[in-house]
């Protein structure tokens, strides 16, 4: 059958390019690992053809998305006609297929750059790239081998999906115009329609892609048994990797803080954890590369760290894309059924690289002379080791779902009967990672006063007298100002200030304040500030929306404040009013006005508008609104609001119907404001000739308000034969109505329905407001880290040119 | 023995230590029945909302009360002193962390799994298409 209106050429082109891209990647791998200059030329050509076909296929996918060809599953799932063009990129990498393409895109660019810069290491280095690309392209191949689908193509037509094959609608050649479903796609998830989604994934994936370069150099070195000539190149790229990956991760944190209501920038979610771990090991590897270049003797550790950094990226990919995190993460990908392929990808590189490492281990250059305990390199080594343990601890705790799959009740090797889980992940990670952060920041500081090879202890202390005094004074002042006396926190504060000041001092002492030498110092200062900012803003977080009326010790109930429309309530040192709401696209904005008390008068301070996104796909989502000031942020979000439309709320005068079953003498606390009691039940039920003529029942109710006003009413229920009738009772002053609905014949209790008059009900919302003090330190630190690594790379490139 | 080797051995020991601590500390998914045997102890129960029983949310006291059943079929009343999560009624599965008391399970944290959250709910629905 010839279907009308389909753009089959695009499907053919896209799939064709995918297939060629895959074949070229394989060819390139093979050629690069064959001996001879000719083969190298073939490998390079094949890699570039792979990259060109890859760019072509990315372009094709962009084209069909931009033109809304809704017969394509990927287009239909991720775009819609009303999607603003600026979100096209976000839509492109919203799905697994697109984000794989983003990753491959960066790998292709970096690989291409390496065909120029890697010089005589081009063969084995770009060869590894080609192999990785072959695996990645296979994820989107979408070809069937018997009953097994290899990869999941973004060029699948909706009608070709297995679940749609043979369905009646596929029998119409004009299905695209016949069925309204194909007129418009389901669009980009509104939650992802913001600029963070445009910048965060490309940065993070560039970070992921960049971990492959040091890995490739390590593999190349092992293959050639060359453990010297690639160190400088690998070092430059590993600094790049630390910088970009760090920025990518922190952007995710900034996104969470700015636009999502997770309540902070870091939640120890598995997806966050598994992207942090490669950064930790890459940072460790970079520092060891430095030692190796300056002094040598740490080759085995360097190789190990560079290798596992990339392997941990693969592990992260496996966790977030195989569906295994389902129960424990809020933002893992939808499972595409690629878990088998992902596992093979992970195992191939893990076994291959670690196997090669172990095979070569005996021949690796080892230390000739032992490091002295007073040398800089010894403590840098310890620092790298601590980063590694910290990363492995996070990996271990994040891997519970994997352990459950392997050893749990339905596991491969049955070791325990109940699936294991972390009850309070945030507490768990903080408890373990804070001590690590203390050691790391301490070493970052102390290392600056140590020299390579050896340092006399006199010199070590002389150098840092000023720093120690300044750090201690600053810590004392901060602790006093913030009233923060937890010994663990004070220690971390001291060590992170120490790291900051020591590095500043080092830069002034050795770098003479010149930008050329600032790279490492600026990055270290940034790291220290980041840790200090994270500590202070979290440990001193103040929830100002305390609900004073219903204080319940240890109950978090008091963290949400009820704001009735127009009412002004106290919130920390502020007063807040909910003055109204307005709708804007997917959003309902809630207008909050904040006032400050100045000389006994309330003065307008600032306005915030936290909002709720009406999101049919993910469920409605609260988005925070934050007042930024230099020393603190005031972060608010709406935790409860009545989202029913006028229609759903109904035009009824009466609402909040509430059914009560009461015995005489029973009481009930109604609507949180009235005490209701059934005093009497009046019954008039005459019989004649054994038959019930009729029955009239009256329920005598007493209603007591919180102000102790007492009202008495009697709703009536009458029944004759099959006919029943009610006479309702109203209390006009309170806007209450009672209806004697029926007798429950099972419990023999009268059933009363209470309802409230519309006007008696004032609209309200619940708001949670938190103050994050000094969170700007965290952002400043992040920026300095990025700038510092940038300077460091520029330094290295410059030095190489000389 | 070299200093760096000692450091590596210490590192390995620390890591093994963490593994043991983890195994000791980690809880298992529990049931309401188990939870009520260990009143006051924090556990995690996976269950689902029982919509046949009444559910109430009192905004003034920020108390959500609902009936839930765990995977083994034990029923319990659950009290959650947080604002009612959006689309709570639509949840397919609820992960409740909290502790049992005589009268109810007090949840301190709730994670919901909504049908729409994981599947994108945009399969072409042939019923819809024939309208």
Which residues touch A585 (CB under 8 Å, ≥6 apart)? none
d(CA A714, CA A683): 12
Residue A799 has pLDDT above 50, yes or no: yes
CB A92 within 8 A of CB A114: no
Q: Which of residues 552-591 of A touch B (CB under 8 A)?
A: 552, 555-557, 560, 562
Question: Residue A551: which pLDDT band, with cuts at 50, 70 and 90?
Answer: very low
Q: Which of residues 91-150 of A touch B (CB under 8 A)?
A: none
Other CB atoms closer than 10 Å to residue A648's CB: what's the count? Answer: 8
CB A220 within 8 A of CB A132: no
- In this predicted structure, which of A297-311, A586-600, A697-711 has the lowest mean pLDDT? A697-711
State chain A's mean pLDDT as an integer. 88
| Helix or strand run (H / E) with residue A634 | strand A632-641
Question: Residue B74: which pLDDT band, with cuts at 50, 70 and 90?
Answer: confident
Q: Which of residues 621-640 of A touch B (CB under 8 A)?
A: 621-622, 639-640
pLDDT of residue A332: 63
Minimal Cβ distance to A619: which of B82, B86, B122: B86
Which residues touch A325 (CB under 8 Å, ≥6 apart)? A270, A271, A319, A332, A401
> B109: burial class by Cβ within 10 Å (0-12, 13-18, 19+)?
middle
Q: Is residue A35 part of a domain?
A: yes
Which residues touch A173 (CB under 8 Å, ≥6 apart)? A1, A2, A3, A4
pLDDT of residue B7: 82
Quote the percentage of chain A above a pLDDT of 70. 95
Do residue A659 and residue A638 come from a single domain? no
Do residue A703 and residue A615 come from a single domain? no
Do residue A31 and residue A179 come from a single domain? yes
pLDDT of residue A683: 85
For chain B, what percentages of helix, strand and coil (3-state, to nearest 5) are there? 30, 35, 35
Do residue A633 and residue A744 come from a single domain? no
Which residues touch A236 (CB under 8 Å, ≥6 apart)? A793, A796, A797, A800
Partners of B14 on chain A (C-beta within 8 Å) are: 389
For residues B96 and A14, the model is more confident at: A14
pLDDT of residue B1: 56
Q: Which of residues 41-80 of B touch A (CB under 8 A)?
A: 42-44, 46, 57-63
Do residue A638 and residue A661 come from a single domain? no
DSSP letters along A132-191, please?
HHHHHHHTT--EEETTEEES--TT-BGGGSTTTTT-GGGG-TTHHHH-GGGTS---S-GG
- Tens-digit pLDDT profile for residues A352-395: 999 999 999 999 988 777 778 888 889 999 999 999 999 999 99
Mean pLDDT is highest, among A277-286, A658-667, B11-20, B119-128, for A277-286
Report how far Cα B123 is from the mean position of its chain's Cα atoms. 29
Distance (Å) from the alpha carbon of B11 to chain A's nearest alpha carbon: 7
Q: Which CATH number fits domain B28-118: 3.40.50.1700, 2.40.50.140, 1.10.10.10, 3.90.1150.10?
A: 2.40.50.140
Do residue A663 and residue A725 come from a single domain? yes
d(CA A64, CA A308): 38
Instruction: For helices A122-138 and A212-224, give the axis angle rounded to 10 degrees.
Output: 130
For residues A603 and A423, the model is more confident at: A603
Instruction: For helices A212-224 and A270-294, give the axis angle rounded to 10 degrees.
Output: 50
- In this predicted structure, which of A428-437, A606-615, B11-20 has the lowest mean pLDDT? B11-20
The three-class DSSP label of residue A728 is coil
Q: Is residue A704 part of a domain?
A: yes
Quote the percentage of chain B above a pLDDT of 90. 0
Q: What is the mean pLDDT of residues A229-241?
A: 95
Distance (Å) from the alpha carbon of B67 to chain A's nearest alpha carbon: 17
- Tens-digit pLDDT profile for residues A742-766: 888 888 888 888 888 766 667 888 8
- Tens-digit pLDDT profile for residues A292-306: 998 888 999 999 999
User: pTM score > 0.95 for this model?
Assistant: no
Residue A556 has pLDDT above 60, yes or no: no
Residue B44 has pLDDT above 80, yes or no: yes
Do residue A16 and residue A63 come from a single domain? yes
- Tens-digit pLDDT profile for residues A399-428: 988 888 888 877 788 887 777 777 778 888
pLDDT of residue A674: 82
Q: Note down the domain range covering A58.
A: 1-193
Q: What is the mean pLDDT of residues A466-494?
A: 94
- Tens-digit pLDDT profile for residues A96-117: 999 999 999 999 999 999 999 9
Residue A175 has pLDDT above 90, yes or no: no
Look at A557 and B129 and tell me if their CB atoms are within 8 Å: no
Residue A555 has pLDDT above 80, yes or no: no
Residue A619 has pLDDT above 70, yes or no: no
Residue among A341, A350, A347 nearest A322 (CA):
A341
| Helix or strand run (H / E) with residue A598 | strand A587-598
For residues A557 and A546, the model is more confident at: A546
pLDDT of residue B5: 78
Do residue A714 and residue A566 come from a single domain? no
d(CA A397, CA A273): 10
Q: What is the mean pLDDT of residues A280-300?
A: 93
CB B73 within 8 A of CB B80: no
pLDDT of residue B25: 64
Residue B18 has pLDDT above 50, yes or no: yes
**Which tokens sit at A753?**
């329905």
Residue A80 has pLDDT above 70, yes or no: yes
Do residue A75 and residue A186 come from a single domain? yes
pLDDT of residue B130: 34
CB A7 within 8 A of CB A71: yes
Q: Is residue A170 part of a domain?
A: yes
Do residue A590 and residue A738 come from a single domain? no
For residues A513 and A552, the model is more confident at: A513
Partners of A168 on chain B (C-beta within 8 Å) are: 126, 130
Q: Is residue A742 part of a domain?
A: yes
Partners of A556 on chain B (C-beta within 8 Å) are: 81-82, 108
Residue among A383, A365, A393 nearest A438 (CA):
A383
pLDDT of residue A345: 95
d(CA A189, CA A83): 10
Look at B8 and A385 and tell me if their CB atoms are within 8 Å: yes
Question: Residue B119: which pLDDT band, with cuts at 50, 70 and 90?
Answer: very low
Distance (Å) from the alpha carbon of A787 to chain B's nearest alpha carbon: 32
Number of domains in chain A: 3
What are the CA-CA distances from residue A537 to residues A482, A533, A622, A629, A638 (Å)?
10, 6, 22, 13, 21
Do residue A686 and residue A597 come from a single domain? no
Q: Which of residues 298-337 of A touch B (CB under 8 A)?
A: 326-327, 330, 334
Strands, E, within A221-265: which ranges? none
The three-class DSSP label of residue B92 is coil
Distance (Å) from the alpha carbon of A407 to chain B's nearest alpha carbon: 13
pLDDT of residue A557: 52
Look at A418 and B28 and tell me if their CB atoms are within 8 Å: yes
d(CA A298, CA A291): 7
CB A763 within 8 A of CB A581: no
Q: What is the mean pLDDT of residues A182-193?
A: 83
Do residue A660 and residue A631 come from a single domain? no
CB A566 within 8 A of CB A797: no
pLDDT of residue A210: 97
Quote the percentage of chain A above a pLDDT of 90. 50
User: What sign for the dihedral angle of Cα A500, A506, A508, A514?
Assistant: negative
Three-state SS across A325-359? CCCCCCCCCCCCCCHHHHHHHHHHHHHHHHHHHHH
Q: Is residue A697 part of a domain?
A: yes
Tell me the count of A-B CB pairs closer than 8 A: 144
Report how far Cα A268 is from the mean position of its chain's Cα atoms. 9
């Amino acid at each position: 059958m010839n279907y009308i209106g389909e753009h089959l050429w695009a499907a053919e082109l896209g799939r064709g390019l995918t297939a060629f891209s895959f074949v070229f990647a394989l060819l390139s791998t093979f050629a690069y690992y064959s001996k001879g200059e000719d083969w190298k030329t073939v490998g390079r050509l094949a890699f570039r053809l792979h990259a060109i076909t890859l760019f072509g296929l990315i372009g094709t996918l962009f084209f069909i998305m931009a033109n809304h060809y809704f017969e394509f599953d990927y287009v239909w799932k991720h775009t819609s006609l009303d999607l603003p063009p600026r979100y096209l990129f976000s839509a492109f990498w919203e799905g697994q297929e697109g984000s794989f393409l983003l990753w491959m895109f960066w790998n292709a660019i970096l690989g291409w750059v390496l065909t120029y810069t890697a010089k005589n290491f081009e063969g084995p280095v770009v060869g590894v790239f080609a192999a990785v690309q072959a695996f990645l392209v296979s994820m989107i191949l979408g070809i069937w081998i018997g009953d097994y689908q290899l990869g999941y193509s973004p060029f699948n037509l909706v009608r070709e999906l297995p679940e749609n094959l043979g369905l009646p609608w596929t029998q119409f050649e004009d299905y695209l115009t016949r069925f309204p479903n194909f007129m418009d796609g389901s669009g980009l998830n509104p939650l992802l329609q913001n600029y963070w989604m445009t910048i965060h994934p490309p940065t993070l994936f560039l970070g992921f892609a960049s971990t492959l370069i040091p890995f490739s150099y390590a593999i190349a070195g092992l293959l050639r048994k060359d453990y010297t000539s690639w160190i400088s190149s690998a070092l430059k790229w590993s600094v790049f990797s630390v910088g970009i990956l760090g920025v990518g991760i922190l952007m995710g944190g900034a996104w969470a803080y700015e636009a999502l209501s997770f309540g902070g920038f870091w939640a120890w979610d598995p997806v966050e954890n598994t992207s942090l771990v490669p950064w930790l090991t890459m940072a460790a590897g970079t520092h060891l590369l430095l030692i190796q270049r300056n002094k040598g003797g740490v080759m085995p550790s360097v190789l190990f760290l560079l290798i596992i950094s990339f392997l941990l990226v693969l592990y992260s990919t496996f966790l977030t894309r195989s569906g295994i995190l389902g129960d424990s993460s809020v933002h893992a990908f939808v499972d595409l059924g690629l878990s088998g392929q992902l596992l093979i990808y992970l195992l191939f590189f893990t076994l291959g690289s670690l196997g090669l490492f172990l095979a070569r281990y005996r021949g690796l250059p080892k230390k000739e002379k032992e490091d002295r305990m007073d040398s800089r390199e010894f403590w840098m080594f310890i620092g790298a080791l601590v980063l590694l343990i910290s990363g492995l601890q996070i990996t271990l705790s994040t891997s519970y779902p994997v352990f459950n799959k392997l050893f749990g009740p339905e596991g491969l090797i049955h070791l325990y009967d109940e699936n294991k889980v972390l009850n309070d992940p945030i507490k768990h990670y903080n408890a373990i990672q804070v001590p690590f952060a203390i050691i790391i920041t301490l070493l970052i500081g102390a290392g600056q006063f140590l020299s390579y090879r050896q340092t006399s202890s006199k010199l070590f202390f002389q150098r840092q007298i000023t720093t120690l005094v300044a750090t201690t004074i600053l810590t004392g002042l901060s602790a006093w100002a913030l009233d923060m006396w937890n010994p663990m926190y004070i220690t971390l504060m001291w060590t992170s200030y120490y790291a900051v000041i020591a590095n500043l001092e080092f830069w002034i002492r050795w770098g003479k304040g010149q930008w050329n030498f600032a790279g490492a110092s600026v990055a270290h200062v940034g790291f220290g500030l980041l840790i200090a900012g994270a500590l202070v803003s979290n440990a001193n977080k103040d929830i100002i929306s305390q609900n004073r009326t219903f204080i319940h010790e240890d109950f978090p109930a008091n963290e949400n404040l009820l704001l009735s429309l127009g009412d002004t309530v106290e919130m920390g040192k502020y007063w807040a009013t909910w003055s109204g709401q307005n709708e804007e696209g997917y959003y309902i904005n809630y207008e909050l006005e904040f006032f400050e008390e100045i000389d006994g008068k309330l003065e307008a301070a600032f306005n915030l508008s936290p909002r709720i996104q009406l999101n049919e796909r993910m469920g409605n989502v609260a988005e925070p609104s934050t007042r930024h000031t230099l020393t603190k942020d005031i972060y608010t979000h709406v935790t409860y609001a009545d989202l029913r439309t006028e229609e759903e709320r109904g035009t009824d005068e009466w609402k909040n119907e509430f059914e009560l079953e009461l015995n005489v003498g029973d009481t009930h606390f109604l609507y949180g404001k009235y005490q209701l009691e059934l005093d009497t039940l009046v019954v008039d039920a005459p019989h004649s000739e054994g038959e019930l003529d009729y029955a009239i029942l009256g329920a005598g109710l007493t209603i007591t308000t919180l102000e102790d006003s007492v009202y008495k009413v009697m709703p009536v229920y009458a029944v004759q034969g099959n006919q029943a009738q009610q006479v309702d009772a109203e209390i006009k002053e309170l806007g209450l109505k009672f209806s004697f609905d029926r007798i429950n014949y099972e419990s023999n209790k009268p059933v009363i329905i209470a309802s409230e008059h519309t006007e008696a009900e004032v609209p309200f919302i619940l708001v949670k407001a938190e103050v994050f003090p000094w969170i700007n330190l965290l952002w400043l630190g992040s920026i300095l880290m990025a700038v510092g690594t940038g300077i460091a790379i520029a330094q290295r490139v410059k030095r190489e040119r000389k | 023995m070299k200093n760096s080797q000692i450091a590596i051995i210490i590192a390995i020991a620390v890591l093994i230590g963490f593994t043991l601590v983890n195994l000791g500390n980690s809880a298992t998914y529990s049931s309401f029945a188990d939870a009520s045997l260990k009143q006051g102890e924090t556990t995690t129960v996976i269950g689902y909302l029982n919509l046949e029983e009444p559910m109430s949310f009192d905004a003034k006291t920020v108390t959500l009360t609902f009936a839930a059943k765990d995977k083994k079929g034990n029923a319990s009343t659950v009290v959650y002193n947080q604002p009612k999560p959006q689309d709570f009624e639509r949840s397919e599965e609820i992960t409740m962390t909290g502790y049992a008391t005589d009268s109810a399970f007090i949840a301190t944290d709730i994670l919901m799994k909504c049908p729409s959250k994981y599947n994108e709910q945009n399969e072409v629905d042939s019923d819809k298409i024939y309208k």
